[in-house]
Structure 1
Amino acid sequence: MEGEGAARLVGTPSNKGDTLELPKKGQKAAAGTEELPGTRDMDASGAQPGHLQPAWDCGHGGAGAVPKPSAASMDRQRSTELSALDSFPLKHSNTLTNRQRGNEVSALPATLDTLSIHQLAAQGELSQLKEHLRKGENLVNKPDERGFTPLIWAAAFGEIETVRHLLQWGADPHVLAKERESALALASMGGYTDIVTLLLERNVDINSYDWNGGTPLLYAVRGNHVKCVEALLARGADLTTEADSGYTPMDLAVALGHKKVQQVIENHILKLFQRKELE
């Protein structure tokens, strides 16, 4: 990656209105979601969860509370999901990172000088990030305009080695951004189970909620990240918490048709009942 293209890999996040929004019960999906400015080159995986809102009212209280949708509503839902998945603010770079290519430097030195610590963390530029952090003691936890620290950016983009090194260098995994976004929630949103496990080992709040009422478990369910859901449930994530939209994790899994996630949640609930009977 050379020239000015390197500087466009990571943009500055905007306000909460542009972030991922959990579905609202009984509402139709929005036609599309605005992207964060400057982040159009960030998508490597192609996964873009946006304002996905199921076309039927799912009610409250778990799996049994969801009415069976009609064939027409299922067609509308499928169309809605495909359209909503085309817009999501946190996009991954479509340029290979150091870790993926095995290179020490993925941009010209003159270009790297223009990147912030947050951009370097999101791209996994470990050697350059370390050099940058030497300029000041407080830079490792420095927030950007939205309150995102380098650790939050690295977690959001699945850069596990960067996350590991930032934690060793003193990054605080408990920090919440301005709208209560956390490294754990963003890692869960992306399905980065190794990073989720690493953060949970630092005793972060597993049930922390953001401006949207979304918890790490809700975002993992939303993304259909089975292993991530398993990891969060194994560490005691709360299954009864509802987002502002009214969905519990099971409600959301049923509404979105995530069968494997439903099975994981059902098995977890069964184990909890069995454990209680033995007490």
Structure 2
Amino acid sequence: MEFERGMWNCAVYGKTDQLLRLLKKGVNVNSQDRYGFTPLHYASRNGRTATCELLLSHGADVFAVTRNGKATALHRAAFCGHLDVVKLLCSCQKSEDYPPLASMLDVDGQTCLHSAARGNQPVVLHWLSITYPELISIRDNAGKTASDLLPL
């Protein structure tokens, strides 16, 4: 468990050298804390693009979701406004047979576009809207689109 704590800490603070040492020791790149957050969730939330790249190159699962909220790392990056991380995560597609990561819904039925709206992140909102226009009309479990969630 100490190794995993080290991984999460490295992900939060972008300590890529230490993270690489842990990965070389065989620590599970997809280890989850008690809330289901993986190192990729933490790196994404904190805008650590290089750390996300390292984790992804070692097999981090972009489709991993948190236990309660079912949020992906993309939801977290979008909410926090980290456009470079959002673009990186969106570029990770398993195959044509899978729906885009951007269309994944959390427990509230919200996409990453909803997350960007809730976080009041106009740059991320714009990029996601242009890149994935199909997200604009998606309504969450409360019947709200992303634009309905924008602050006044």
TM-score under structure 2 length normalisation: 0.84
Contact 2:49 2:84 in 1 (8 A): yes
2:19 matched residue in structure 1 = 129
Q: CA deviation at 1:131?
A: 0.9
Query: Which runs of at least 4 in structure 1 moved beyond 4 Å after TM superposition?
Result: 112-115
How far apart are 1:185 and its partner, in Å? 0.4
Question: Corresponding residue for 2:104?
Answer: 208
Once the two structures are TM-superposed, the CA of residue 113 in structure 1 deviates from its matched residue by 7.7
Q: How far apart, CA to CA, are the structure 1 residues paired with 2:65 and 2:104?
A: 9
Residue of structure 2 in register with 1:41 after alignment: none
The alpha-carbon deviation at position 123 of structure 1 amounts to: 1.1
Percentage identity across aligned positions? 31
Letter in 1 for 2:131: R
Shift of 1:200: 0.8
Aligned twin of 2:131: 235
Task: Give the one of 56, 63, 68 matched to 1:174.
Answer: 63
Give ranges in structure 1 of 5+ residues lacking alignment: 1-111, 258-279
Q: Which amino acid in the other structure matches residue 219 of structure 1?
A: S
State the AA in 1 paired with 2:6.
S
| 1:88 aligned residue | none
Q: 1:139 aligns with which of 13, 21, 28?
A: 28
Q: Structure 2: which amino acid aligns with 1:153?
A: Y
Give 1 or 2: higher helix fraction.
Answer: 2
Q: Is the partner of 1:143 in helix, strand or coil?
A: coil
CA RMSD of aligned residues (A): 2.0
**2:135 alignment partner, SS class:** coil
- Corresponding position of 1:194: 84
Letter paired with 2:146 = P
Q: Give the match for residue 33 of structure 1.
A: none
Alignment partner, residue 252 of structure 1: 149
Question: Normalising to structure 1: TM-score of the pair?
Answer: 0.48
1:114: how far off?
A: 9.5
Per-residue CA deviations over 1:165-197 (Å, capped at 9, x if unaligned) read: 111122121222223110100000000011000
Give the Cα separation in 1 of the matches to 2:122 and 2:32: 31
Tell me how far apart the structure 2 counterparts of residues 235 and 113 of structure 1 sit (CA, whole Å).
Answer: 37
Q: Hey, what does 1:161 align to over in structure 2?
A: 50
Q: How far apart are the structure 2 equivalents of 1:140 and 1:191?
A: 24
